[in-house]
Every structure is written in structure tokens, then in C-alpha cells.
Amino acid sequence: MLLSIREPNFPTEVLGSSIPVLVHFWAPWCGLCRLIVPQLQQFQTNWQDQVKLVGVNADQSLKLASTYRLQTLPTLILFANGQELHRLEHFHGREDLRRTLDEFMHSYQNRSASVSLSTHEYLTLEA
């Protein structure tokens, strides 16, 4: 089951998270939003403690919907270190969704590894 969050706890749960957060913006009237929940839960299971999955009801969180300029639902946004890294607004089936989400995570891991390497190299040069 997705952790459901609203505007007041968005800064803490998403922007302040120590791990990447995949935010599923949805609405009760959106059939596709409900259909992808099992795939999202499988994604979270596959990536275990490396990503947090949360749901935001866009109809109840209009300020967030406006802030992140939602054009369509469902919209999936991957946040890391308080920043939007990737956005998915359209996909073509379950396999496309799974592949795209996995690519998001691999991209995040590669970005994190290069930042760590750059920091380490900098520290080594300074020493």
C-alpha cells in the first residue's frame, strides 16, 4: 500500500528524505492511476530500501499539483535530495513503466556514484 501524503507533510516526506522518493500524483476518478499501483508496489519491492514510494491525491493537493505543473494523471516524479530528477507522464503499458522506473533508479545511482567519486577525488587532491 502506498504511503498517502498531503501538502503539509510533503516537505518532510519527499523533499527532506534521505533516499529517493517516487511520487505518484493521482486522483480518485483516474482509472489508469489505480491500474498502475501494483506495478509501483512491485517497483518499490524490487528496489527495497533504496527508494520510497508515496501517493499524492492531486485533487486534494491543488497547491502541489500547481507547483509541479501537472498536465496529466497519473504523473510520476522521482525526487532526490529535494530536487526533481525525473518525470513520467506518459507510458505505453506495464513493461514500459517498469523499464522507465528502473532507468530512473539506475540513472540516480550513476549520478550518486559520480558525485561521490568527484568528492573523493577532490579530497584526495587536497590531501
Q: Is 119 a catalytic residue?
A: no
* 33 catalytic residue (yes or no): yes
3-state secondary structure the chain: CCEEECHHHHHHHHHCCCCCEEEEEECCCCHHHHHCHHHHHHHHHHHHHHCEEEEEECCCCHHHHHHCCCCCCCEEEEEECCEEEEEECCCCCHHHHHHHHHHHHHHHHHHHHHHHHHHHHHHHHHC
From the candidates 23, 33, 70, 73, give the one annotated as an active-site residue.
Answer: 33
Check 7, 17, 27, 30 and give the catalytic one: 30
Active site residues: 30, 33
